């Protein structure tokens, strides 16, 4: 698929245009310059044929000095990979020396360039477009990314620059790859892990908390299977947010937890499981999402313990105990910095995916549950006791590629099943079918039409 890369100085509206072309809000849009740091990718389906679009951080003026060099490097790499460069300028502010400097840099890159004069929100502003013609680009389009003015003209200009002759009817139907989200609090090594998985520097890494702001969506291949990898902003307590941009970033991360197929919760092994780690794990549990726990920075733990197997095992056991409510999530120990055991994470992701396709036979499921109830009868409530009439595994009504197993239990009265006994039944199911990384969901249907959804 061909790719168009959006470049320009800070605050010219690249992220607003990116969201307009993507058809949904992906990049954070804010009046504060320098909000976008990493390059963010999506697919535009509005033209004659779908094409990739890439949002980059603002180049020049150093609105974000701690990340200026990394942001520029990410933008330069994106331009090198581009089929077309969409050079965005601010029509209201007018032509600035930095715009002219960037224009010269883009000419040297030898890529087709579409010059986009943004923020022409009203037809009376259209004359502002002519000032930018002196930059010498043959394709100039005036638009308003905020209001959608000129979007069709821009799409036609991009199509011409790409020279695409593929008609939409000739394209194969899009198959969405499973989404993997790397989540956790700030500075646990999420972006380092993203880069280690991809085998290249794709996400900006820094010791400064809050480096990642947008949720990056990056296609990747894990063991021969296509996935979409999402590196998210670090989630910390709302009272510690230092800007409205960070509030938006954290909201995006929390939303990502609910919409992906597997959440990879990254824990800093050197500091152990913190209160904030538990809160993030609680978000995953509440969302009823598949999960894998990663203990990162394991190279430092090995140094501290001199590779003593007993002490290393204590670190893992302590993490499991602290996150007991997410006990279905397997633990992978690795070092994103050195690459140690990163491939074990690939193996675990594939294991979770495969087990999500497993189905328990109805006859065997009923035998397992009845044997469990004979071995340990459910507690009575007054003169009544929970009774299982029949059980079957159902297909969860979800668009997820990796959906947790859902079991429908036909019972006398769902209200008679205490949580402790529900956990007991789930444990017996796991003994038989394992389901690593997957929460077990149950839907109880009573004789009197009472239905109750529960999960372990």
**Sequential DSSP letters for 265-322:** EEEETTT---HHHHHHHHHHHHTT--EEEEEE-HHHHHHHHTT-HHHHHHHHHHHHHH
Q: Which of 85, 121, 78 is nearest to 103 (CA)?
A: 85
pLDDT per residue over 62-121, tens digit each?
A: 544 443 454 456 567 768 878 999 999 999 999 998 888 888 888 888 889 999 999 999
Residue 224 three-state SS: coil
Residue 335 three-state SS: coil
pLDDT per residue over 255-284, tens digit each?
A: 888 888 999 999 999 999 999 999 999 999
With vertex at residue 69, the alpha carbon angle to CA 136 and CA 99, rounded to the nearest 5 degrees, is: 20
pLDDT top residue among 109 and 443: 443
**Predicted pLDDT of residue 284:** 94
Q: Please give the average per-residue pLDDT across 285-306, as a whole number.
A: 93
Q: Which of 182, 187, 178 is nearest to 208 (CA)?
A: 187
**Predicted pLDDT of residue 74:** 57
Q: Is 436 exposed, middle or buried (0-12, 13-18, 19+ CB in 10 A)?
A: middle
Q: Please give the average per-residue pLDDT across 182-211, as a whole number.
A: 72
Q: Name the DSSP letter for residue 145.
A: T
**Predicted pLDDT of residue 399:** 62
With a cut of 60, say whether residue 215 has pLDDT above it. no
CB-based burial, 366-386: b 16+ in 10 Å, e otherwise: bebbeebbeeeebeeeeeeeb
With a cut of 80, say whether residue 456 has pLDDT above it. no
Q: Which residues pair with 114 in a beta bridge?
A: 86
**Predicted pLDDT of residue 356:** 93
Record: fold of 3-170: Rossmann fold (3.40.50)
Q: Name the DSSP letter for residue 144.
A: B
Q: Which of 427, 438, 423 is nearest to 357 (CA)?
A: 438
With a cut of 50, say whether residue 245 has pLDDT above it. no
Rounded to two decimals, what is the model's pTM? 0.66
**Predicted pLDDT of residue 35:** 43
71 near 64, Cβ under 8 Å?
A: yes
With vertex at residue 265, the alpha carbon angle to CA 261 and CA 268, rounded to the nearest 5 degrees, is: 165
pLDDT band at 336 (very low <50, low <70, confident <90, very high): very high
422 near 456, Cβ under 8 Å?
A: yes
Report the percentage of the chain scoring pLDDT > 90. Answer: 45
273 near 323, Cβ under 8 Å?
A: yes
Report the percentage of the chain scoring pLDDT > 70. Answer: 80
**Predicted pLDDT of residue 450:** 65
Phi and psi angles of residue 427, each rounded to the nearest 5 degrees, phi first: -65, -40
Same fold, 179-356 and 362-455: no
Instruction: Locate the domains of the chain by residue range.
Output: 3-170, 179-356, 362-455
**Predicted pLDDT of residue 228:** 87
Q: What is the CATH number of domain 362-455?
A: 3.30.300.20
CATH class of 179-356: alpha beta
When the pLDDT of each residue in the chain is averaged and rounded to a whole number, the result is 82
With a cut of 50, say whether residue 37 has pLDDT above it. no
- The span from the first CA to the last CA of the chain, in angstroms, equals 42
Q: Outline where DSSP puts E strands in 312-385.
A: 331-333, 380-381, 384-385
11 near 92, Cβ under 8 Å?
A: no
């Amino acid at each position: 698929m061909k790719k168009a890369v959006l470049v320009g100085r800070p605050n010219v509206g690249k992220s607003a245009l990116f969201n307009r072309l993507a058809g949904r809000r992906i990049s954070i849009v804010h009046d504060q310059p320098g909000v976008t740091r990493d390059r963010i990718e999506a697919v535009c389906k509005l033209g004659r044929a779908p094409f990739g679009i890439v949002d980059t951080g603002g180049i020049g003026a150093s609105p974000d000095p701690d990340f200026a060099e990394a942001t520029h490097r990410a933008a330069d790499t994106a331009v090198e990979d581009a089929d077309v460069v969409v050079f965005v300028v601010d029509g209201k502010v007018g032509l600035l020396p930095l715009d002219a400097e960037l224009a010269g840099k883009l000419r040297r890159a030898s890529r087709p360039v579409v010059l986009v004069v943004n923020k022409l929100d009203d037809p009376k502003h259209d004359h502002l477009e002519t000032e930018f013609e002196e930059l010498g680009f043959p394709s100039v389009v005036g638009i308003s990314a905020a209001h959608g003015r000129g979007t069709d003209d821009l799409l036609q200009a991009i199509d011409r620059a790409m020279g695409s002759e593929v008609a939409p009817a000739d394209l194969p139907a899009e198959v969405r790859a499973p989404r993997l989200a790397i989540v956790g609090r700030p500075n646990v090594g999420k972006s380092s892990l993203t880069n280690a998985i991809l085998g290249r520097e794709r996400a900006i890494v820094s010791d400064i908390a809050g480096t990642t702001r947008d949720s990056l969506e990056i296609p990747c291949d894990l063991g021969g299977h296509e996935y979409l990898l999402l590196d998210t902003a670090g989630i910390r307590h709302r009272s510690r947010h230092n800007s409205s941009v960070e509030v938006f970033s954290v909201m995006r991360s929390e939303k990502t937890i609910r919409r992906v197929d597997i959440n990879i919760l990254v824990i800093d092994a050197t500091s152990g499981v913190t209160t904030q780690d538990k809160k993030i794990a609680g978000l995953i549990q509440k969302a009823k999402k598949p999960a894998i726990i990663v203990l990162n920075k394991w190279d430092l733990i090995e140094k501290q313990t001199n590779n003593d197997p007993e002490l290393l095992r204590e670190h893992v056991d302590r993490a499991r105990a602290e996150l007991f409510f997410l006990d279905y999530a397997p633990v992978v120990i690795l070092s994103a910095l050195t690459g140690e055991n990163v491939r074990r994470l690939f193996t675990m992701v594939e294991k979770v995916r495969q087990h999500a396709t497993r189905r328990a036979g109805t006859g065997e499921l009923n035998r397992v549950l009845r044997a469990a109830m004979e071995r340990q009868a459910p507690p009575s409530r007054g003169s009544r006791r929970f009774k299982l009439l029949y059980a079957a595994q159902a297909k969860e009504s979800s668009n997820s590629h990796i959906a947790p197993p859902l079991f429908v239990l036909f019972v006398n009265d769902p209200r008679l099943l205490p949580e402790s006994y529900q956990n007991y039944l789930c444990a017996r199911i796991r003994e038989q079918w394992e389901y690593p990384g997957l929460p077990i969901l149950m839907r109880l249907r009573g004789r009197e039409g009472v239905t109750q959804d529960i999960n372990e």
